Amino acid sequence: MVILGISAFYHDSAAAIVRDGEIVAAAQQERFSRKKGDESFPREAIAYCLAEAQVNIKNVDYVVFYDKPLVKFDRILASYIHTAPRGLRSFLMAIPIWLKQKLWLEDLIRKELHYDGPVLFSSHHQAHAASAFYPSPFEKAAILTVDGAGEWNTTTIGRGNGNRIELLKHIDFPHSLGLLYSAFTYYCGFKVNSGEYKLMGLAPYGEPKYVDLIKKHIVTIREDGSLYLHEKYFNYISGLTMISRAFEKLFGLKALPQGATPTQFYMDVAASIQAVTTEALVKMARYAREITQEKYLCLAGGVALNCVANNHILRESGFEDVWIQPAAGDAGGALGAALAVWYGYLGEKRSADGIHDFQKGSYLGPSYSDNKIREVLDAYQAVYERLEDEVLFQRVARDIADGKVVGWFQGRSEFGPRALGNRSILGDARSQDMQTTMNLKIKFRESFRPFAPAVLAEDVNEWFEWDRPSPYMLFVADVKKEHRFPVSREDKTGLELLKQPRSKLQAITHVDFSARLQTVHRETNPRFYTLLEAFKRLTGCGVIINTSFNVRGEPIVNDPRDAYRCFMGTNIDVLVIGNYYLEKTKQPPFKELQTWKSTLIAD
């Protein structure tokens, strides 16, 4: 039984294939098109999934879309009627594509895929809930899904038991925690639907001075986590921007232009909305615990990528453990929709052992053969060595210890927004200068952005205040006190905090001593684990920097060609693709450099 799940047309289009309940493949369209957040129909992602499953479209038993277009169209029309005559310009921009394309999705799917089998439609939050619960290690669990908006729902609380999911409570549009956070993302100068993690990274530089102002005027949060947004401060219901003039008047300053450097004021605003978001999510989770009486919680929806809030949910909501879908946003909806057909629609049996999830480390994207890698490198006339594993791991560990930056390309690419050791840029977490070097010279991004640590699973408690696996980089943990340096915030504001030595792991220690944690496990990624082991043998430290293999405005690299271009267009010192080892100083001039840079989409 082969089921193809599709998400498309809003942001982060993706495809996934489930065969007899097993997740065979999943990938985002952006990785192939090289357009960040690509919302188009995921032709190339679908083609990859079919190839990985070794089937053609005639072998697919069901195609399922992660949304119900007619229900969403009903919400959009109702929103425009609610705000009329305002929103006419937005209405005239939105409606033609609905009438031409989005309302005829079944016809579009059949035409694009040349498919004549059953086409099904999951509700948006049903797909999120399925993506959270079905791959989790839990036989029974509460489920919380939080995002901007699906059809009408913006938040749901449910319960999973075996192969059944029941959605119990919901919050509906326009009252949305995701859209609230996105409004502040816009206000602080970042792009909506891609800059929310930047807002989260900015928050520790500020103080939550505006929490009371936000809760008094902008959002009412009840004890069960349900919320009410006061419409006068927003323009997303039928307009073209997230916030209204009343929002800017309330705070006394206009929205920061995209790309501008945040001042202390915007840092304080970021800290404030992070605190409000965390409060709301913890209350939602506590209410989910109360009404389900379950021991475990599963999370999905774009807001579930807020790893700072996730930490508070884990510690404060009363659940024994929390599992979060690594592709928690719309991309994961493709996977959730496919799993919902297998378990919910077809009623197939599911069993879980409480320990191991079914996500396969989220290494669900394409891999490339040794011959394909060599073919690409030869086409670029690249200078390389092919090293056996033992020599390769020792040399790369030495490179990292010597302060070099390494592009690391191995095996199947990751599904979701995080690089987890297969499409990664690696560096020495102990370096006092590496955070600035990698931000400005490698990633070409804002200097305040923190980097994540990858740590050997058995060493996590040696370096961090943490007591469980965190394989998907979806929680933060504090660096242990014995590894920190004394830091004073007095007379220092904003980015001045960044310049202070903070810990023995300076490059991954944020200004509040936190780090977005990835525990690395031999069973899910033996090559990355072996590299960390080699680094530990050399340095005594089983922690390195792991950041995504891309530059600002570009999706994570997908194939060897992407990797070589990024390597040659940045100050990465060493590139490792499979067993092929390349040093920057030995490479010929890169003729495609200007073409590559010109194709990057402004973030």
Total length of the chain: 603
Q: Helix, strand, or coil here: 439?
A: helix
Q: What pLDDT does 85 receive? A: 66
Rounded CA separation 127/130 (Å): 5
287-299, pLDDT tens digit by residue? Answer: 999 999 999 999 9
Angle at the Cα of 122 from the Cα atoms of 116 and 124, rounded to 5 degrees: 135
Query: Cβ atoms within 10 A of the Cβ of 256, count?
Result: 18
Rounded CA separation 393/399 (Å): 10
Contacts of residue 7, defined as CB under 8 A and 6 or more positions apart, other chains included, come to: 13, 14, 15, 42, 65, 66, 67, 127, 330, 331, 332, 333, 334, 337
Q: What pLDDT does 436 receive? A: 85
Amino acid at 561: R
Q: What pLDDT does 603 receive? A: 44
Rounded CA separation 154/481 (Å): 39
Distances (CA, A) of 225 to 208, 232, 281, 283: 20, 21, 7, 5
Q: What pLDDT does 424 receive? A: 98
Judge whether 256 and 189 are in contact, CB under 8 Å.
yes
Gyration radius from the chain CA atoms:
23
159 has which bridge partners?
Answer: 142, 166
User: What percent of the chain shows pLDDT beyond 70?
Assistant: 95
For the chain, the 3-state helix, strand and coil shares in percent, each to the nearest 5, are 40, 20, 40
Which residues, given as ranges, of the chain have pLDDT below 70? Answer: 80, 83-92, 98, 238-240, 491-495, 594, 596-603
Contacts of residue 479, defined as CB under 8 A and 6 or more positions apart, other chains included, come to: 463, 464, 465, 502, 503, 505, 509, 513, 514, 515
Q: What pLDDT does 602 receive? A: 44
Query: Cβ atoms within 10 A of the Cβ of 351, count?
Result: 7
Rounded CA separation 113/369 (Å): 27
Rounded CA separation 561/373 (Å): 8
Residue 386: DSSP 8-state: E
Residue 104: DSSP 8-state: G
Judge whether 563 and 409 are in contact, CB under 8 Å.
yes
| DSSP E strand boundaries for 108-163 | 119-121, 140-146, 153-161
Rounded CA separation 539/536 (Å): 5
Phi (first) and psi of residue 368, to 5 degrees: -135, 140
Rounded CA separation 566/574 (Å): 11
Residue reference for tokens 């023995």: 504
| DSSP E strand boundaries for 466-596 | 475-478, 514-520, 543-548, 574-577, 580-583
Angle at the Cα of 295 from the Cα atoms of 289 and 298, rounded to 5 degrees: 75
Amino acid at 212: D
Q: What pLDDT does 88 receive? A: 65
Residue 464: DSSP 8-state: B
Q: What pLDDT does 278 receive? A: 98
User: Dihedral of the CA atoms 586, 590, 593, 596 (nearest 10)?
Assistant: -100
57-96, pLDDT tens digit by residue? Answer: 999 999 999 999 888 877 777 776 776 666 666 666 777 7
Largest CA distance in the chain: 69
Amino acid at 106: E
Rounded CA separation 441/247 (Å): 36
Instruction: Give 267-286 as a DSSP string.
Output: HHHHHHHHHHHHHHHHHHHH
Judge whether 176 and 149 are in contact, CB under 8 Å.
yes
Rounded CA separation 39/101 (Å): 13
Enumerate domains of the chain plus CATH numbers: 370-599 (3.90.870.20)
Amino acid at 170: H
pTM of the complete model beyond 0.75: yes
Distances (CA, A) of 317 to 39, 290, 309, 310, 376: 35, 10, 11, 10, 50
Rounded CA separation 529/536 (Å): 11
Rounded CA separation 549/421 (Å): 10
Contacts of residue 93, defined as CB under 8 A and 6 or more positions apart, other chains included, come to: 240
Distances (CA, A) of 133 to 49, 350, 359, 469: 22, 11, 11, 18
Rounded CA separation 407/574 (Å): 6
